[in-house]
Amino acid sequence: MLKVAVIGDADSVKGFLALGLEVYETSDSGEAKKLLHRLAGGNYAVIYITEALFSGMTEEISALADQRTPAVIPILGVFGNTGIGARHVSQSVERAVGSDIISD
């Protein structure tokens, strides 16, 4: 069975435990990169990462973009919205349909 993981600072990810997701608490980008690499080699369909960590992992995430799994998705953290989540969705849609149909 495929699993779902969440990586981010403790305050941002603890709530996901109630949903039964696997939670990995870290605010350190180096540790987050190692976690992503380890989880990507596992049985994970989706890995959510807080925007604060996601923005520093572009190379690692790009390396996974053409794989079927896992889907690596940025989520808001308690420290606010950086806009990277919306940009990532827009880029994914553009890659899938060949045109940016989300932006104005």
pTM given for the model:
0.79
Q: What letter does residue 51 receive in the DSSP assignment?
A: H
Peptide bond into 74 cis (omega under 30): no
- CATH T-level fold of 3-97: Rossmann fold (3.40.50)
Q: Residues for the chain: how many in total?
A: 104
Encode pLDDT of 30-81 as tens digits: 999 999 999 999 999 999 999 999 988 989 988 888 888 898 989 888 876 6
Determine the pLDDT at residue 102.
Answer: 59
Domain ranges of the chain: 3-97
